[in-house]
Amino acid sequence: MTPEQIADLRRQKYNATVTRLIKVHSDLLILRVRPDKPLQPHKPGQYTALGLGYWEPRIPGSADEELSPADQMKLARRSYSISCPILDDQGRLLDYHATGWLEFYIVLVRESGKQMPPALTPRLFLLQEGDRLFMGEKITGHFTLDPVQPEDTVLFLATGTGEAPHNYMLWDLLRRGHPSRILSVCCVRYRKDLGYLAVHTELMRRYPHYTYLPLTTREAESKGHKVYIQDLITSGQLEERLGQALDPRHTHVFLCGNPKMIGVPEKDRVTGARIYPQPPGVIEILEKRGFQADLPSQKIKGNIHYEEYW
């Protein structure tokens, strides 16, 4: 493709600008994106799409893509939860809706495990501040704070970048003075993968009813005794950090990230019984303790809400 064709495609297909880009490390980034048009009203916890053309370069070392000339002119689009910095540069709760931009928290996928190599993140990781990209105008999703009442304890349990929507929901709870306990857990491979650790540490200092609990699974000290979020619950450590028993009547649990941590059950076609994936995810463990996961196909709204990233 000629530089003129590429410039033309960018003009036609892109509708937003990167206003800030923070590389937490080579494979993890925080990206702020300002759309050309005013943002659509939306709720914390929801997601939108980001996209870049298949004509854009990919990070060195990426596996080869086989694309037809027609495909090369298309956009690679993926869903991304909206995150939130929570505090502004002066350390106050951010007036997020006045900024005109949205924040995203994105990990570089080097191998997708699928036939096609990962399309979007190897391109997103070459972006620089001021660059143009596509952002979906539609912001959507069922993963919101709608069911949470002031008397409810809120648990946010995430793996990796799954903490993105939790950060936006946490900002909303703090902003509206949610009076009950809030606990946010994030399980990552290495300490360097905790892109929001500093802000959570500051929030814990300011809000005694808020706790951030990071778990790392591949640091030297985790060797031989890896603790997943499921282990935190079954061992009683989660309740210990919460300072209270898990009470399904007054607790909402939000799960986001790796589907294996979440463990959404299937329904047996003959008996209708729930079949949980093995080894157990959080849903099985909590349902055995009286919780109920949302089941959109059966129109069941419970107190476990989840967003699977793949």
Ligand X SMILES: NC(=O)c1ccc[n+]([C@@H]2O[C@H](COP(=O)([O-])OP(=O)(O)OC[C@H]3O[C@@H](n4cnc5c(N)ncnc54)[C@H](OP(=O)(O)O)[C@@H]3O)[C@@H](O)[C@H]2O)c1
Q: Which of 191, 218, 267, 289 binds ligand X (CB under 6 A)?
A: 218
- Comparing CA positions, the residue from 194, 182, 206 lying closest to residue 91 is 206
CB of 186 to ligand X, least distance (A): 9
First to last CA, the chain: 32
Nearest to 28 by CA among 201, 165, 217, 160: 160
Binding partner of residue 261 among ligand FAD, ligand X, none, CB cut-off 5 to 8 Å per kind? ligand X
Length of the chain: 310
Distance (Å, rounded) from C-alpha 190 to C-alpha 160? 10
Question: What are the tokens at 42?
Answer: 């939306």
If the CB atoms of residues 170 and 255 are measured against ligand X, the closer one turns out to be 255
Closest contact distance (angstroms) between CB of 179 and ligand X is: 31
Quick one: what does residue 232 bind among ligand X, ligand FAD, none, with the CB cut-off 5 to 8 Å set by partner type? none
Least distance to ligand X from the beta carbon of 257, Å? 6
Is residue 294 within the footprint of ligand FAD (CB under 6 A)? no
- Looking only at residues 243 through 282 of this chain, which bind ligand X when binding is defined by CB under 6 A? 257-258, 260-261
Positions in 13-42 near ligand X (CB under 6 A): 27
The partner in contact with residue 234, picked from ligand FAD, ligand X, none with C-beta cut-offs of 5 to 8 angstroms by kind, is: none
Please give the DSSP secondary-structure letter assigned to residue 101.
-
Provide the mask over 254-293, with x wherever binding to ligand FAD is found by CB under 6 A and - wherever it is not. Answer: ----------------------------------------
Q: Which two tokens stand for residue 100?
A: 């005109």
Examine residue 81 and tell whether it contacts ligand FAD (CB under 6 A): yes
Contacted by 228, from ligand X, ligand FAD, none: CB < 5 to 8 Å by type: ligand X
The first and second tokens of residue 45, run together, are: 């916890």
Residue pair 58/73 in contact (Cβ under 8 Å)? The answer is no
Rounded to an integer, what distance in angstroms lies between the CA atom of residue 170 and that of residue 84? 9
DSSP 141-194: -S-SSTT--TT-EEEEEEEGGGHHHHHHHHHHHHHTT--S-EEEEEEESSGGG-
Are 9 and 73 in contact by the 8 Å Cβ rule? The answer is yes
Contact footprint for ligand X (CB under 6 A): 27, 107-111, 159-161, 187-190, 193, 217-218, 226, 228-229, 257-258, 260-261
Chain positions contacting ligand FAD, by CB under 6 A: 47, 78-81, 104-107, 109, 112-114, 118-121, 160-161, 164, 307, 309-310
